[in-house]
Amino acid sequence: MTESERQMREKLKGKKRIVIKIGSSSLTHPETGELNLYKIEKLVRIICDLKGEGRDVVLVSSGAIAAGRQALGGQKRPTTISEKQAYAAVGQARLMMVYQRLFSEYNSIAAQVLMTKDTMTNDASRYNAQNTFDELLNLGAVPIVNENDTVSTHEIQFGDNDRLSAVVSALIGADLLILLSDIDGLYTDDPRKNPDAKFVSFIPEINEELMGMGKDSSGSDVGTGGMTAKLVAARIATDSGCDMVIANASDVMVIHDIVNGEPRGSLFLAHPNLDFDLMDYMNSKY
Ligand SMILES: Nc1ncnc2c1ncn2[C@@H]1O[C@H](COP(=O)(O)OP(=O)(O)O)[C@@H](O)[C@H]1O
Ligand SMILES: N[C@@H](CCC(=O)OP(=O)(O)O)C(=O)O
């Protein structure tokens, strides 16, 4: 690790408002598609501990479609948009039931926040969402965010929750975004396809060469977006002044290591772009 990376990782200890995103592939058992309750329980415990340290935490959790698929006894991945929406409607309720129960075991409150692109592009809705986040964090609750899949197909059609988590980070002024994935972080190429791909642990600045490293192939049967979506998220987060780490969700204790400055995952440094305007971004590129 270079001295500059070490210094920047050390600064992660002081992060006060953290957004954590966990993908469907990390929340479910690959063999059966069932929710991985042990992992979710550990994740909840770590989040409660971060709160105990005086930090605000927001969780962006995918998994509604995967949980619905399993609840409905479905064996195959849903293909049509309406099928995905119906699975998500069943699964979102199930997912929240699990989170509510686990957070209450640690004397914490989980709150559901479902968003769409319109939440961000409409001034009144964006303002309302921002106020709700602030109020929930003041109350000590943990907002659990997902796309409102039943009324919007933007994410499940075009992307994934990676960008949503970056947009939420920008909206609430988070200082750290942690994307938990099925892989250790960014490699120079998709390591599942290119055995010569090298791990990249520190990204002080995102350029076009780096954007080209991310391929949109997903590593699992339930994930979407691949590394491309995570790099787009990194652009939004770092432009808005938020550091971002991609790390492996195989052991969620990695969150604890990251906020203790240990060299885990790929760290993308914030470089606040004074021209960055979340509204412009949502209207033009999202
Ligand atoms: N340059 C890269 N570095 C790392 N992973 C990559 C890269 N390009 C493509 N990928 C693929 O992206 C996958 C992670 O994306 P995805 O499956 O959408 O994650 P998740 O469901 O965990 O959010 C990896 O498993 C890997 O196969
Ligand atoms: N809103 C959908 C999101 C699906 C999605 O983006 O999944 P992932 O690629 O695992 O982040 C769900 O909850 O199933």
pLDDT attached to residue 117? 84
pLDDT attached to residue 93? 96
pLDDT attached to residue 234? 95
Could you read off the pLDDT of 84-107 as tens digits, one per residue?
899 999 999 999 999 999 999 999
| Torsion of Cα atoms, 76 then 79 then 85 then 88, to 10° | 30
The residue whose two tokens read 């058992």 is: 29
Which are the contacts of 48, defined by CB distance < 8 A and separation ≥ 6? 103, 106, 107, 108
Mean pLDDT of 165-172: 96
Tell me the backbone φ, ψ of residue 158, rounded to 5 degrees. -110, -20
pLDDT attached to residue 43? 98
When pLDDT is cut at 50, 70 and 90, the band that residue 61 belongs to is very high
Average pLDDT, the chain: 90
> Does the pLDDT at position 158 exceed 60?
no
> Does the pLDDT at position 282 exceed 80?
no
pLDDT attached to residue 225? 67
**Residue type for 149, please?**
D
Q: Relative to the alpha carbon of 88, which ligand is closest?
A: 2
Distance in Å, CA 63 to ligand 2 centroid: 6
Query: Which has more confidence, 155 or 30?
Result: 30
Q: What is the DSSP letter of 189?
A: S
pLDDT attached to residue 78? 85
> Does the pLDDT at position 217 exceed 70?
no
When pLDDT is cut at 50, 70 and 90, the band that residue 156 belongs to is low
- 185-189: long-range contacts, CB 8 A cutoff, minimum separation 24: 185/245, 185/246, 185/247, 185/248, 185/265, 185/266, 186/210, 186/213, 186/214, 186/227, 186/230, 186/231, 186/246, 186/266, 187/213, 188/213, 189/213, 189/215
Distance in Å, CA 215 to ligand 1 centroid: 7
Mean pLDDT of 255-261: 98
pTM over 0.80: yes
Q: Provide the pairing of β-strand 56-61 with 176-181.
A: unpaired
Nearest to 164 by CA among 12, 258, 15, 23: 23
> Does the pLDDT at position 283 exceed 90?
no
| Cα distance between residue 135 and residue 63, in whole Å | 26
When pLDDT is cut at 50, 70 and 90, the band that residue 247 belongs to is very high
Distance in Å, CA 29 to ligand 2 centroid: 15
pLDDT attached to residue 223? 52
Query: What tokens were used for 64?
Result: 């509604």
pLDDT attached to residue 191? 95
Could you read off the pLDDT of 176-191 as tens digits, one per residue?
999 999 999 999 999 9
Helix ranges (H only) for the chain are 3-11, 24-27, 37-52, 64-71, 81-105, 117-121, 123-138, 154-158, 161-172, 208-211, 226-239, 254-258, 278-284
Could you read off the pLDDT of 101-151 as tens digits, one per residue?
999 999 999 999 999 888 888 889 999 999 999 999 999 999 999 999 888
Least confident of 19-23, 30-34, 169-173: 30-34
- List Cα–Cα distances, 61 to 112, 137, 147, 271, in angstroms: 10, 17, 9, 26
pLDDT attached to residue 224? 58
134 annotated as belonging to a binding site for a ligand:
no
- Ligand 2 atom nearest 23 alpha carbon: 10
- Ligand 2 atom nearest 147 alpha carbon: 1
Q: Return the best residue to mutate from 218, 220, 245 for the ligand 1 pocket (most ligand atoms within 8 A of CB).
A: 218
> Does the pLDDT at position 160 exceed 80?
no
